[in-house]
Amino acid sequence: MILLGAPGSGKGTQAKLIAEKYSLLHIAAGDLLREAVNKNTPLGLQAKEFMGRGGLVPDKIVIDLIRQRLDEPDAKAGNGYILDGFPRTLAQAEKLADVEDVDIDIVLNIDVIFDLLLERLTGRRTCGSCGAVYHIKYNPPRSIGVCDKCGSELFHRRDDNEEVIKNRLDTYLNQTQPLIQFYKQRGLLKDINGSGAIQNIFKLIVTILDNKHEYTNSGVRL
Ligand code: AMP
């Protein structure tokens, strides 16, 4: 499964819920890149400046990173995976389509009105330890600045400040939005209205996925 959506659309939040319910692996390109940056790997050092500005990391770097991740035993052996934040360019989508044992069943496009994205991103807080994501207004932790799940400190992502967010949204419009058409043409796209509450959006997604499961089990592909 691929999750498409602008920064702040809730891809990561929904991906975690979907992964848990359907026992899928959650592979988030942004998390893999941040891990490489934090570990100061050669790839991380290259990626850092692009991420800091809110632009995209060059395709080759991200494609290699995702390829390596898909080659790991848990990705090969499990129930399947959710790609969150990959692909983000047409070149990435084309490369992914060429990878032999990758079979894309569905692409969910989480659609959120633009004004809401800025508010969601500036208010986002992330757990540095387990990766849980909160929002100071829409999904606050029980105690300020502390993760409900693991008790670690929450932080404000460096690229969640207004200036960088504007670049990230422009980058999305110019480079990622064309993927909606790409997957629509291939009959894989499902649109989700992502403007409501987390659990309501999740219910919409579950309805779509459960219906799809029935179709595929009866031999009809969506
Ligand atoms: P995210 O956590 O998905 O918001 O990603 C954070 C940043 O990582 C983005 O603003 C990009 O700089 C970089 N990034 C994540 N995924 C990709 C991708 N598929 N292609 C290029 N850059 C990416």
Q: Where are the domains of the chain?
A: 2-112+161-221
pTM, entire model: 0.91
**Any ligand 1 atom below 6 A from CB of 147:** no
**pLDDT given at position 213:** 64
Q: Just give the CATH number of 2-112+161-221.
A: 3.40.50.300
pLDDT at 217: 52
Q: What is the CA radius of gyration of the chain?
A: 17
What's the rounded Cα separation, in Å, for the pair 83 and 3?
Answer: 6
For residue 207, what pLDDT is reported? 95
Alpha helix (H) ranges present in 23-161?
29-38, 42-53, 59-70, 73-77, 90-98, 114-122
Q: Looking at the annotation, which residues are catalytic? A: 11, 88, 124, 157, 168
Tens place of pLDDT per residue across the chain (222 aa): 999 999 999 999 999 999 999 999 999 999 999 999 999 999 999 999 999 999 999 999 999 999 999 999 999 887 899 999 999 999 999 999 998 788 999 999 999 998 899 999 999 999 989 999 999 999 999 999 999 999 999 999 989 998 899 999 999 999 999 999 999 999 999 999 999 999 999 999 999 999 876 655 554 444
What separation in Å is there between the alpha carbon of 53 and the centre of ligand 1?
A: 11
User: Residue 208 carries which side chain, given as an amino acid letter?
Assistant: I
Q: What whole-number distance in Å separates Cα of residue 7 and Cα of residue 117? A: 7
Within 58-111, strands assigned E span 81-84, 107-111
| pLDDT score at 215 | 54
Answer whether 51 contacts ligand 1 (Cβ < 6 A).
Answer: yes
- Decide: 46 in ligand 1 pocket, CB within 6 A: no
Amino acid identity at 167:
N
Residues forming a β-bridge with 125: 134
